[in-house]
Structures are given as structure tokens and as C-alpha cells.
Amino acid sequence: MKILLVKQLFNPEPTAKSLDFAKELIARGHEVEVLTGFPSYPIGKIYKGYKQRLYKRETLEGVNLIRVPIYPDHSTSGLKRFLHYISYAISATFIGLWLVKKPDVCFVYQGAIPVAIPAIVLKKLRGVPFLYDINDLWPETVAASGMLSKPRALKIINKWCHWNYKNADFISVATPGFKKSLISKGVPENKLEIVPNWSRDVISDEALPKGIKEKYFDENKINILYAGNLGIVQSLKTILVTAKSLQEQKLDKVQFVFLGGGADEDNLKEFALKNDLKNVSFIPRVESSEVSKYLNTADFLLVHLNSDPLFEITIPSKILAYLKSGKPILMGLKGDASDILNNANAGYTFEPDNSVDLEIKLKKMISLNLDQIKKMGQNGKDYYKNNLSIISSVDKLEKNFKKIAKS
């Protein structure tokens, strides 16, 4: 089959179902083309080595890409973020669709709802069916982020979502909670299937260079690493409050390490500086290919999202990489994600936005012996391999591509 991937974000940006997905489809004998934007996420500006123009054809590890211009932004401004999303939709529709080969089927990765526009236009004009892959629930996501709270605007977004769902030939969802939510909104159950995301990170045994390791990871301490977006919804101040409490108790064997950047980065650094937190360090964002080295160096891995019902049906992609890495996990989430961790027996969960509960679970974790810690990490690794691999998920997507292409 000829398959068109419509994705606003693509490599070298850190995003799920991208280059690895395209290469897996090609390995299965399919012809793949990608319609994407010029890379800017999560730094909010065009990557070095790229310069925006009307369009750019590119071949990345054997995958053919067409890049179209966007309005780069990753701020907390709702208006600017909307312009970021809609700019891709407009460029992909009015520029990209003239450049792509007519596919048999189209795959739309929905991070934001405007991305479906070019696929819907392609379907209306050229009869190309599309599979809609839901990774964030709208309008719940924008409401939870605090970027948009006006009821009228949220109502408009909700109607837009229903229009997308109606036009999609099939819908894949990342979690059981997403499926239940869409069914409650009137999407037919026979149009839905749960297709878990997989980790895009290549986990290796490589170690950090000695200089970097000594700078950020004290070998005499228990290093707890958070790797990913330092954004608003991650609510990472909760972690810093715990760090402050531990420092006040003179429990100095714990070190929190934050790897990455994002909209809340400056506020977090200001809090750490104001409270003179000596048990917290920040590492600038690194290439995705380097993240594995940092995961290998940490003792425990940390994930957290704020206390919102939406995140009870969300599985952050970093959880998959964490499981795959074979390190024990501290997770500040409820619902689908915590079910995975508990089923895997790969760490401890704590109440989101509850620094006291985090402290309790952290003290419990650091009291484990080395054999227990190692077993917990191996449990996560085994669970990932058996339940969340790229092979099993692409099997499901491929089956549905063939189904809608024949309909």
C-alpha cells in the first residue's frame, strides 16, 4: 500500500509514531510518504540546520518527507499555540497536498485537532480514507493545560472534534480511558481500537561520559531522574517541594535531576534558587539518541502530571521509555498509567500534586535492597517487551489500514 503519514511533528523532533513507525511500515513492504512541518518542538523555534521556505523535500533514513512552513511556538499563550497548530494545517492543505503522491490510505497523528484538516480535504477531493490516531483528548487537553477556559471556545473545539471523528474512517486510541471517553461522546465502538504507543527511544547500555556524570550525578547519592518536558501540566513544583522537605530533614542522600526544557523551566529554576535547593540539578535538553545514557545513570526514574481527570486516561510516552530502560519508576499519576506500573510491578505510584505522598513513597523505595531494586527494573523491561512493543501496535494499525483501504 501507499501510505501517507500526516504528522505536524516528526524527527528530529521528539514525538511518537514517527521515523520508527515509517521505517517499520517500509520494512513490511509499504510505500511511505510523510507530510510534516519544519522542526521546532519543544524549543519553540526552528531547529538549527533548517530554514523555512515554501516546502522542502527530504529523505531521512530512507523515508521520504515533505516539510511545509509553520508558525513556531511552544509558549503558554493559547493564541500563539493555536497559530502554531493551524499554520501546519493550512500549509499542509494548500501546499502539501499538491506535492504528495496519491496514497491508498492516510494516517493522521492527532496531537492537536487542526492536523486532521489536510486528511479530510484529501478524502473529500480524492477519496483517500484515513485512520485517525488519538493521542490527546480535546477539548479536555487545552482545558487541563490552562491555556483556554472559556466555555464557548471549548464548545466550539468539542464540535470540531466531532467533525473530525465523523470524517475519520477508523480511529485508534492510545489508552482504554480514551476509548471509553470517545464512546461516551457518541463514536461507534466498532470504529475504535486501542493501539498503545511504543517507546521511540533506543535504549542501549552506553554510559555517560565521565565529565557529565560527575557534574550531574553524585555517585554517593541516590539519583532520581525526571527526563522530558518541563511544562505546566507536569506540575513539577510538587517534586521541588519534596526536595525542599528532604533537605530540611537533612536527608541528603537523595538528588533530583531534571533533564529537558519547557514552558515552566524558568519558574522551577527560580524556586530551586530561592530555596537554595542543593539536592536539585537541571540538565539542558539533549538529543533523543542521548537520553538513554542519562536513564542508565539514574537510580530511579520519575514521572508526574498534575491532578486532573484527563491524565487518569493518559499514558505519557516517557513511561514507555522508562519501562524499556529497566529502571524502577516513581509515578505521580492515577488511572491507566498507574495500572500499567502496578501490573508490571515496576515501581511505586504516588498521589499527583501531593509532595507528602511522594516523600512517603520515595522513602519506601530507597529502603529497598539492591536485589529488590534490580528485580523491579527488570519487571518493567519484561512488561514492555510483552505488551507495548512496536511490532504488536503496528500489526493492529496495518490491519486497519488494509480494512479501510478496501472499504
Give the number of other Cβ atoms within 10 Å of residue 274's Cβ. Answer: 8
Closest CA to 341 of 351, 352, 330: 330
Q: What is the CA radius of gyration of the chain?
A: 21
The sign of the torsion formed by the CA atoms of 156, 158, 159, 163 equals positive
What pLDDT is recorded for position 143? 73
Check residue 254 and give its pLDDT: 95
- pLDDT exceeds 80 at position 321: yes
Top mean pLDDT of 25-34, 198-207, 208-217 is at: 25-34
pLDDT confidence tier of residue 407, bands split at 50, 70 and 90: low
In angstroms, what CA-CA distances link 163 with 169, 186, 250, 292, 401?
A: 12, 12, 56, 40, 21
* Greater model confidence, 76 or 5: 5
pLDDT in tens, 218-257: 989 999 999 999 999 999 999 999 999 999 999 989 999 9
- Of 46-55, 140-149, 225-234, 237-246, the one with minimum mean pLDDT is 140-149
Percent of residues, the chain, with pLDDT higher than 90: 74
Confidence of residue 146 (pLDDT cuts 50, 70, 90): low
Which residues, at least 6 apart from 210, have a Cβ–Cβ distance to it below 8 Å? none
Q: Are 2-198+389-406 and 210-387 the same fold in CATH? A: yes
The yes-or-no verdict on residue 145 having pLDDT over 80 is no
pLDDT of 184 over the 80 cut: yes
Mind spelling out the 3-state secondary structure of the chain? CEEEEECCCCCCCCCCCCHHHHHHHHHCCCEEEEEEECCCCCCCCCCCCCCCCCCEEEEECCEEEEEECCCCCCCCCHHHHHHHHHHHHHHHHHCHHHCCCCCCEEEEEECCHHHHHHHHHHHHHHCCCEEEEECCCCCHHHHHHCCCCCHHHHHHHHHHHHHHHHHCCEEEECCHHHHHHHHHCCCCHHHEEECCCCCCCCCCCCCCCHHHHHHHCCCCCEEEEEECCCCCCCCCHHHHHHHHHHHHCCCCCEEEEEECCCCCHHHHHHHHHHCCCCCEEEECCCCHHHHHHHHHHCCEEEEECCCCHHHHHCCCHHHHHHHHHCCCEEEECCCHHHHHHHHHCCEEECCCCCHHHHHHHHHHHHCCCHHHHHHHHHHHHHHHHHHCCHHHHHHHHHHHHHHHHHC
pLDDT at 296 over 80: yes
75's CB contacts (< 8 A; 6+ apart) are 44, 81, 263
What distance in Å separates the CA atoms of residue 114 and residue 130, rounded to the nearest whole number? 15
User: Given a cut of 80, is residue 188 above it in pLDDT?
Assistant: yes
* pLDDT for res 148: 65
Q: Quote the CA–CA distance of 25 and 23 in Å, as a whole number.
A: 5
Phi, psi of 252 (to 5 degrees): -90, 10
**Residues in contact with 85: Cβ distance below 8 Å, sequence separation at least 6, in sequence order:** 8, 112, 113, 114, 115
Average pLDDT, the chain: 92
φ/ψ (deg, to 5) at 13: -70, 145
Which residues make Cβ contacts (< 8 Å) with residue 317, sequence separation at least 6? 16, 197, 199, 200
Return the CATH fold of 210-387.
Answer: Rossmann fold (3.40.50)
Residue closest to 109 by CA, chosen among 388, 403, 406, 393: 393
pLDDT in tens, 63-118: 999 999 999 998 777 788 889 999 999 999 999 999 999 999 999 998 889 999 99
* pLDDT for res 360: 97
pLDDT at 147: 64
For position 283, what pLDDT does the model report? Answer: 96
Banded pLDDT at 316 (limits 50, 70, 90): confident
What is the rounded average pLDDT of the residues 112-125? 95
Dmax of the chain from CA atoms?
67
> Which homologous superfamily does the CATH classification assign to the domain defined by 2-198+389-406?
Glycogen Phosphorylase B; (3.40.50.2000)
Interatomic CA distance for residues 353 and 333, integer angstroms: 9
Domain-wise residue ranges, the chain: 2-198+389-406, 210-387
Of the listed ranges 66-70, 284-288, 323-327, the least confidently predicted one is 284-288
As a whole number, mean pLDDT of residues 285-298 equals 89
Residue 375 is placed in which grid cell?
Answer: 528485580
The dihedral over CA atoms of 6, 8, 9, 11, expressed in degrees to the nearest 10, equals: 50
